[in-house]
Amino acid sequence: KTPNIDAISAAGVRLENYYVQPICTPSRSQLLSGRYQIHTGLQHQLIWMGMPSALPLDTELLPETMRNCGYHTMASGKWHVGYAKTANTPWGRGFHNFTGYLGGSEDYYKKTRCLNGHTCGIDQNTDGDVFGERVYEADASEYSAFKYIRQAKSYIDGRDKDKPFFLYLPMQSVHAPLEAPAEYIAKYDGIIDDKPRKIYAGMVSVMDEGIGN
């Protein structure tokens, strides 16, 4: 159930062609660059851990254009279009402020990503012009959707009111792993029997509520 997203879609502009792919990195690369992924080299699945792939630096991204036009640019959520060099990170690609994670498929609570189930690390950054200047400690008490919405609201409230702003909110929801607060999963008791599907529905409800907020 997505009443907030449905209302925004009904009253807004729907992008129906060439904007999404079945997986995440190509989709977000197209939205940020305005270029189909075969022209940026990101058509082959996603950027796996340790891969130096990224959106080409000679392609001006939406946040860079907005920043060059005098907008205050801020992002809260998932990046996953390159992080091998500082120039590939959100701070290097036009964002004044960024809170979120650079890779993919991390734990919604602990903010960790594991390789082959063994080597695990925290992937969570905020603000700063230097990669890794400040890193959040893993906080297993706050679900990521709540955190990214809270940070987005904080950015909007704290911005320079005399300047236009651009907010990019690529939420982690609804991406693997399947995790959601119990009270949101319970909304689908008696409606959905399949457990993974039920958790997924709960994740969608959290996302919809966050966007409404």
77: β partners: 100
Dihedrals φ, ψ of 100, to 5°? 155, -155
Pair 149, 209: CB distance under 8 Å: no
Catalytic one of 24, 72, 96, 175: 24
Dihedrals φ, ψ of 163, to 5°? -115, 145
**Integer Cα distance of 138 and 101 in angstroms:** 12
Tell me, yes or no, if 80 is annotated catalytic. yes
Return left, alpha or beta for 178; rule: phi > 0 is left, psi -120 to 50 is alpha, else beta: beta
Instruction: Give the CA count within 13 Å in the CB-facing half-sphere of 40.
Output: 29
SS3 state of residue 49: coil
Hey, how many other C-beta atoms are within 10 angstroms of the C-beta on 61? 23
Catalytic one of 72, 80, 96, 175: 80
Tell me, yes or no, if 39 is annotated catalytic. no
Q: Which residues are catalytic, by number?
A: 24, 80
